[in-house]
Structure 1
Amino acid sequence: MGERQGEHFPGPITVFQETRLPERATPAGYSALIDAYDLAVPLPRQLTATGQHHRITEGGGWRIMTPRHAPAATLDGHLTFALKYEGLDLAVLKRLFQATGPAPIVELVENRPTGGYARRIWFLHEWLLGAQLDLPDAQAGRYVPAVDPAQQWAIHGENSPRHRVRNNLPGTPAFCPLIFRTPALERSVELDLARRARELVADVPRDVIARTAAFLLLEDSKSSYAIEGEHPPQDRIQRWGRAIGEAGRHPLDEDELHRLQRTVIGDARFVTLGLRAEGGFVGEHDRQSRLPLPQHISARPEDLDALVEGLVAFDRGPAQALDPVLAAAALAFGFVYIHPFEDGNGRIHRYLIHHVLAERGFNPPGLVFPVSAAILDRLDDYRRVLETYSARLLPVIDWVPTETGNVHVRNDTGDFYRFFDATPQAEFLYSCVERTIEQDVPDEAAFLRQYDAFRSEVTAMVDMPDHTVDLLFRFLRQGDGRLSRRAREREFAALTDAEAARVEAVYERLFSEA
């Protein structure tokens, strides 16, 4: 089959699946394999082709390499090219192996039994499909990594003697997003933000940190609801804030996810709790026909048990060996793409970020980084990051509307939620965490120190209880440092003109640059 398909690898083209290439070029690697085997898969974020110029160019989602990079127009040639230059795309590889059947892969390995790429392909085939090929164990060849750690983030892993391959995949066959090494992520990891957070806390009095933590916890809970366009009563915000404050203390399993859903929903009279029994989507309905207009389609209900088990296994296993922020991005965004519940997915998705960071000791004890507040301030960026995968996923989902205005998915899509490129999500999350550490936490701690100084100086001038000082402060903030006529005539009529002027001067000195 591999030889016959080789005749159908595409030649030079200018358009590939409705996407225009920057120049006329020949698909190579994954793009060639997707075309030759008619694979219905989410397209990689960047596709590769070989052109006529002796320089490498990038643009429009394509990387155009030189003629000397052109692989042989065979299954072996394009698979080797993909692993060498494009990294691993597990969803494409699994669908490819299912399309080729085992015989071409066996032949490929038999032709180069000691070849590093051949043994990697062999290992990936058996790892993804869960069945051994009719091949004897490898007898020679140095151990090679399944994931090229120079291309994508990996774990140390364990050796597979059968293939003489080190299995450093950062997941399991049930759930394994991959993250490419990019300059932005390399820089973020090198910042060592966990150390920076510890240093920050060490320089602030413990009572100030405690009050900072309390404020930021409530702010994160409030922001998480606001991202969903909800403005619940204060008691629900506080209840969810308490749940966030406990992140990382309980092991993640399906029961814990159900507990979190009950906490976040509160009143479940009109929501079916637990894993969805029907399809799900994120989007709107047509006003006239009420037909679904999905921006994202969730995993099929029949796949949810296995996908949630995969999330849990990832969290308990490979995630422990990954950088905490990268692990949080893979877990949390994987969860939100799966969308296992009827309601509450978004808030639990953001909770999972806190879960990983707290469990791994990334944030100092008792201090929750207000990641949701950072996301709320960058809501358009957040939505774009979510859509980087949803937009590539939608075209390969075969769905029909149901009578209730829902969606019913007719094709097998489970692997598209197990295996996705989480690079944009990791970059976005790291930038949010960096902002909370470099800006939000120190700004709130500095504010509390200034406020304490304000209260101390005001009460040294005029004896008043804390709640009155707080009211005075709020009036000054609303008036840009000046007490309004209403405040002077009513709540603070007892202040003399000289005292009011001195209070305003204290505020000006302490908060003029705030």
Structure 2
Amino acid sequence: MGEWPSQPVTDFRGRALPEPATPVGYAALMAAYDLAVPLSPRFAAIAQRHHPVSTDSWLMLTPRHRPEESLAGHLTFAIKWEGVNLPVLDQLFRTIPAEDVADIVSTTPTGAFARRIWFLYEWMTGHMLDLPDAGKVRQVEVVDPDMQFALARGETSSRHRVLNNLPGTPRFCPMVDRSPALSALAAKKLDERARAQIGRIRPDLVARAAAFLLLNDSRSSFAIEGERPSGNRAVRWGQAIAEAGQTQLSLAEFDRLQRIVIGDARFVRLGLREEGGFVGVHDRETGDPIPDHISARAQDLDDLLAGLVDYADRTREGGYDPVVAAAALAFGFVYIHPYVDGNGRLHRWLIHHVLAAAHYNPPGLVFPVSAAILREIDAYRRVLESYSRPLLPLIEWRRTAGGNVEVLNETASYYRFFDATAHAAFLYACVEQTIEVDMPEEVAFLEGYDRFTLGIQQMIDMPTDQVELLHKFLKQNDGRLSQRAQGREFAALTADEVREVERLYWDSFIEPE
């Protein structure tokens, strides 16, 4: 063990503090025990003055909040002020003797924070401390729901007299802070707004909008990967998206979905990876891997995916926020990267699965989140890299003969436990965009197209395919029929008819906007 931070600093492991201050809580535990953990989005520190200003990266507290310089002092402070940080706790509990945790509990056996620490130690390590049960004391929640998203319906641990409202299990349990931005998005009840919106629209329009949005999401998911699939392949994947939420997650289900995604598997190995994996490029001269992200080890995949399945079941049954659960599950999957190919599309399919299983989206309607992600592709990549890049320096690896990576250290816990706050905020924004922009725009287009088609048919006896072509030409030329179209495909139209067609297009599409 090293020393507790006792002097004000302006930098902690490369992260600047807003003013000279002493790191405490989880940051102090990381420093004292030299824990190899990616930096959390936010740490705590004790400022020298009595009116410090906190930032997104630092909770700045006054000198009167300074904890005792001990394991018990900093661990209690961390749980109280920073919530449950599973990546740090996992590394800490692997490092310290079990007796040190037992001493904390023995000193204050009825203390709320001591019992939460006790529960977390036994929950994460599977090792029972030599301590009697807590007895008749007031039950406390493991996760403070005002600080972090937690299950609405957890289960009681009578041994510790705590309510286990953690969203996952020791196999997989990302945590999400209840930031002001996320709390505001959750309070909007976007699912209720979507159902109210759909309830005001004719059922036939809803069905047609749903069909387009589904295919658009499928194509967008391929486009994110830089692919332009055939029509049949996009339709097949769209059907898989439409069926999301109807089946039980399992390794067999993941394998089935990968087969649908890949289609032609002659040049791609199906099933779980049997070697290392990374996302990145190779050095042109040496052939060495240049990773942007290193995937979980092949020997850890079965256990990690079992944890994903447990997390999906637990969050659905426990009343966890569906959008937050979808973000944690989907981004966790893509960080694990269990397959040689198809991970990105399965990652986005998982978003649909969680939302559909929770009945978050209106029946029969898929939120086109992939289309929203495609529009915000740079922000999407930043969110992906917000965890994968800080993780890289902690992974020891060497090049294989085939130009792959072989991971040399234990890394499974990095994929089990991570902070998914940024991921949840990004996905919530995408869901809001689909409800507030994509769905209304598609319905408005269909209403306009119906008006346009009916007006054309009342004016001229024109086949449906010609009406579609006419609409296409007008759309490409901002509501005007080009001289080329008037001279070729629609030469039969009179000058008066052309003006009437343009007016009809304006009334149907441009004026409503």
- Whether the 8 Å CA contact 1:46–1:63 is kept in 2: the answer is yes
Deviation string 1:444-470 (CA, Å, 9 cap, x unpaired) is 011100100000011101001111111
What residue in structure 2 maps to residue 309 of structure 1?
306
Q: How does 1:57-456 map onto structure 2 within 5 Å?
A: 57-59=53-55, 61-155=57-151, 156-320=153-317, 321-456=319-454
- How big is the shift at 1:62? 2.5
- Whether the 8 Å CA contact 1:12–1:26 is kept in 2: the answer is yes
- In structure 2, the residue corresponding to 1:296 is in which secondary structure? strand
286-295 or 434-443: bigger deviation: 286-295
Using the alignment, how far apart are the partners of 2:73 and 2:93 within structure 1? 15
- Whether the 8 Å CA contact 1:224–1:372 is kept in 2: the answer is yes
Deviation string 1:478-498 (CA, Å, 9 cap, x unpaired) is 111111122111111111111
| Residue identity opposite 1:341 in structure 2 | Y
What residue in structure 1 maps to residue 33 of structure 2?
37
- In structure 2, the residue corresponding to 1:21 is in which secondary structure? strand
154-163 or 254-263: bigger deviation: 154-163
- How big is the shift at 1:16? 2.1
Q: How does 1:467-506 map onto structure 2 within 5 Å?
A: 467-506=465-504
- Whether the 8 Å CA contact 2:300–2:412 is kept in 1: the answer is yes
- In structure 2, the residue corresponding to 1:217 is in which secondary structure? helix
- Whether the 8 Å CA contact 1:488–1:495 is kept in 2: the answer is yes
- Whether the 8 Å CA contact 1:22–1:60 is kept in 2: the answer is no
| Residue identity opposite 1:306 in structure 2 | D
Deviation string 1:274-304 (CA, Å, 9 cap, x unpaired) is 1111111111222222211111111111110
- How big is the shift at 1:403? 2.0
TM-score between both structures, scaled by the size of structure 1: 0.97
- Whether the 8 Å CA contact 1:143–1:164 is kept in 2: the answer is yes
Using the alignment, how far apart are the partners of 1:462 and 1:334 within structure 2? 56
Structure 1 outlier segments of 4+, above 6 Å: none
Q: How many pairs are equivalent?
A: 510
- Whether the 8 Å CA contact 1:10–1:35 is kept in 2: the answer is no
- In structure 2, the residue corresponding to 1:270 is in which secondary structure? coil
- How big is the shift at 1:395? 2.0
- How big is the shift at 1:324? 1.2
Using the alignment, how far apart are the partners of 2:489 and 2:286 within structure 1? 57
Using the alignment, how far apart are the partners of 1:350 and 1:482 within structure 2? 39
- Whether the 8 Å CA contact 1:482–1:504 is kept in 2: the answer is yes
Q: 2:456 pairs with 450, 455, 458, which one?
A: 458
- Whether the 8 Å CA contact 1:116–1:141 is kept in 2: the answer is no
| Residue identity opposite 1:339 in structure 2 | H
Using the alignment, how far apart are the partners of 1:317 and 1:141 within structure 2? 27
- How big is the shift at 1:257? 0.4
Matched, 1:509 2:504: no
Aligned-pair Cα RMSD in Å? 1.4
TM-score between both structures, scaled by the size of structure 2: 0.97
Using the alignment, how far apart are the partners of 1:15 and 1:200 within structure 2? 49
Identical counterparts, % of pairs: 57
125-134 or 180-189: bigger deviation: 180-189
- In structure 1, the residue corresponding to 2:244 is in which secondary structure? coil
- Whether the 8 Å CA contact 1:30–1:78 is kept in 2: the answer is yes
- Whether the 8 Å CA contact 1:170–1:319 is kept in 2: the answer is no
- In structure 1, the residue corresponding to 2:35 is in which secondary structure? coil
- Whether the 8 Å CA contact 1:7–1:73 is kept in 2: the answer is no
| Residue identity opposite 2:276 in structure 1 | G
| Residue identity opposite 1:221 in structure 2 | S
| Residue identity opposite 1:197 in structure 2 | A
- Whether the 8 Å CA contact 1:25–1:52 is kept in 2: the answer is yes
Deviation string 1:251-286 (CA, Å, 9 cap, x unpaired) is 111111000000000111111111111111111222
- In structure 2, the residue corresponding to 1:23 is in which secondary structure? strand
500-509 or 21-30: bigger deviation: 21-30
| Residue identity opposite 1:220 in structure 2 | D
- In structure 2, the residue corresponding to 1:14 is in which secondary structure? strand
- How big is the shift at 1:10? 4.7
Using the alignment, how far apart are the partners of 2:31 and 2:261 within structure 1? 44
Using the alignment, how far apart are the partners of 1:391 and 1:55 within structure 2? 34
| Residue identity opposite 2:394 in structure 1 | V
Using the alignment, how far apart are the partners of 2:485 and 2:25 within structure 1? 71
Using the alignment, how far apart are the partners of 2:57 and 2:407 within structure 1? 28
- Whether the 8 Å CA contact 2:316–2:358 is kept in 1: the answer is no
CA gap of 1:319–1:412, structure 2 versus 1, over 3 A, is: farther
| Residue identity opposite 1:195 in structure 2 | E
- How big is the shift at 1:504? 0.9
| Residue identity opposite 2:427 in structure 1 | L
- How big is the shift at 1:12? 2.7
- Whether the 8 Å CA contact 2:251–2:305 is kept in 1: the answer is yes
- How big is the shift at 1:379? 0.4
Unpaired segments ≥5 residues, structure 2: none
- In structure 2, the residue corresponding to 1:25 is in which secondary structure? strand
- In structure 1, the residue corresponding to 2:388 is in which secondary structure? helix
What residue in structure 2 maps to residue 11 of structure 1?
7
